[in-house]
Amino acid sequence: MRVSRRTFLAGSASATAAAGLAAACSHVEADGPVSSSAPEHKDLATAVVGFDGLRQAGVATATQAHLNLAAFNLKEGVEKPGILRLLRLWTEDARKLCTGSAPVGSLEPEMNAWPANLTITAGIGERVFDLAAPDAKPQWLHDLPAFSRDRLDPAWGQSDLVLQICSDDPLTCAWALRHMTRAGMDYVRPSWVQQGFMNASGSLAEGTTPRNLFGQVDGTVNPRTDEAYEEQVWIDGPGGFAGSTSLVVRRIAMDLDEWEVLDRRSREVVVGRSLADGAPLTGGGEFAPADMEAVDDFGLPVIDKNSHMARAMPPEDHPEQRFRRRPYNYNLPPEPGSGKLSNAGLIFIAYQKDPDRQFTPVQARLDEVDRLNTWITHIGSAVYWVPPGASPSGDAFWGQSVMG
Ligand code: HEM
């Protein structure tokens, strides 16, 4: 019989060797800062994003350099009591890891010493509601509709639970994934892991919007104020749902080989923005409003009506079609023998109140027409409820407000 290390070591002093670091670390609130661009380049040895709060960190938090997005499925026979034990245990361990102290049972407490802005954000899939709180399941918590251009690989499909683990240090990210996987092993088995990256911490000036592998400034149009987050992202009720949100994950392959063939101007027309600074092709700088009516000397629209930007922006009568995009690049070696130079893409992560009203209509429009479609293919899809944040003085663990 396997002895659970957690049970075996509970209370052991060795497990808290790194405790105390948290107190010395710089602090940012769990649900802030509100930003989608490069974080302030703090001393990473002491950089901590606060864990506790009404909302989970890792949603509005400025994008860290590394992502491990890990999906898990419940083991056979695990039902509501097991689910609640897992969520409590994961919450406690995530709090420790994110604040730079060693979770109970950690045999390598040294590894927890530099969280480097680590955030661990939990998402709960539809099947967990079916087992633990069927009457409370949000209406929007279901598979996205099939889109005509989807080429979904079930290997990147829906899971029961997901952990979005982000840090500015890749070793911390790997360690946090290893710890959380081991901590949950009595209840869940890993389903997939999606690893992604953005610019290394400090390589972009603070506040700069990062770029994707097509070289585009990606993340310009995003909520940037508390009001915008209230409007687009945070669910306000009922009851235990306050402070929660939803997470849509799409794995999107990007054909870099074919993109190479395009000249620079065409690349800009595809998106409707300049490569130099991400400004709309009607000018004015990255954050200037796009003039969708402007025409050139030939009477043609300056921003192509089928460009990615024109198709993605909310129509006037549906201003609610906006959300927080928090994408990460992936860039794997090409399949041996494929003759391709790349196996790359975007781990497209979107947070919103209600995917049915926000993400899905936008994706339906893009699926119909979007110049970018020639170079991208959606190959994975999943949807989760992201419970409110936890704290020792409030909900003690993720999901307690609704399932506990
Ligand atoms: C590999 C796939 C994709 C790439 C490379 C990409 C790239 C971009 C770029 C460069 C921009 C312009 C700058 C900005 O506002 O961030 C943009 C804007 C946007 N994208 Fe994407 N995108 C992809 C997929 C998607 C998907 C799947 C959705 C949602 C269904 C989406 C929704 C949006 C929205 C809402 C905007 C802002 C439009 C506006 O109001 O101006 N994108 N994207």
Q: Is 218 in the pocket of ligand 1 (CB under 6 A)?
A: yes
Asked if 158 and 383 count as a contact pair (C-beta separation under 8 A), the reply is yes
Asked if 192 and 159 count as a contact pair (C-beta separation under 8 A), the reply is yes
Nearest residue (CA) to ligand 1, atom 18: 309
Task: Report the atom number in ligand 1 closest to the C-alpha of 209.
Answer: 16
Q: Which residues are registered as beta bridge partners of 350? A: 248, 325
Q: Is 254 in the pocket of ligand 1 (CB under 6 A)?
A: yes
Rounded Cα–Cα distance for residues 56 and 120 (Å): 8
Nearest residue (CA) to ligand 1, atom 43: 218
Q: Is 280 in the pocket of ligand 1 (CB under 6 A)?
A: no
Q: Is 250 in the pocket of ligand 1 (CB under 6 A)?
A: yes
pLDDT in tens, the chain (404 residues): 333 444 333 333 333 333 333 333 333 344 444 455 555 556 888 899 999 999 999 999 999 999 999 999 999 999 999 999 999 999 999 999 999 999 998 899 999 989 999 999 999 999 999 999 999 999 999 999 999 999 999 999 999 999 999 999 999 999 999 999 999 999 999 999 999 999 998 899 888 999 999 999 999 999 999 999 999 999 998 889 999 999 999 999 999 999 999 999 999 999 999 999 999 999 999 999 999 999 999 999 999 999 999 999 999 999 999 999 999 999 999 989 989 989 999 999 999 999 999 999 999 999 999 999 999 999 999 999 999 999 988 778 999 999 98
Q: Is 312 in the pocket of ligand 1 (CB under 6 A)?
A: yes
Rounded Cα–Cα distance for residues 113 and 97 (Å): 9
Rounded Cα–Cα distance for residues 196 and 3 (Å): 34
Tell which one of 318, 325, 363, 376 to mutate to probe ligand 1, the residue whose CB is within 8 A of the most ligand atoms: 325
Half-sphere exposure of 300 (CA within 13 A, CB side): 7
- Positions of E strands within 52-108: 66-74
Task: Report how far ligand 1's centroid is from the alpha carbon of 135 (Å).
Answer: 35
Rounded Cα–Cα distance for residues 42 and 83 (Å): 37
Closest among 202, 229, 194 to 59, alpha carbons compared: 229
- Positions of E strands within 326-375: 328-332, 343-352
DSSP string, 274-336: -TTT--BTT-S-TTSPP-TT-B-TTS-BSS-TTSHHHHHSPPTT-TT---EE--EEEEEPPPT
Write down the pTM of the prediction.
0.92
3-state secondary structure of 38: coil
Active site residues: 218
Retrieve residue 137's tokens: 């399941």
Task: Report how far ligand 1's centroid is from the alpha carbon of 273 (Å).
Answer: 11
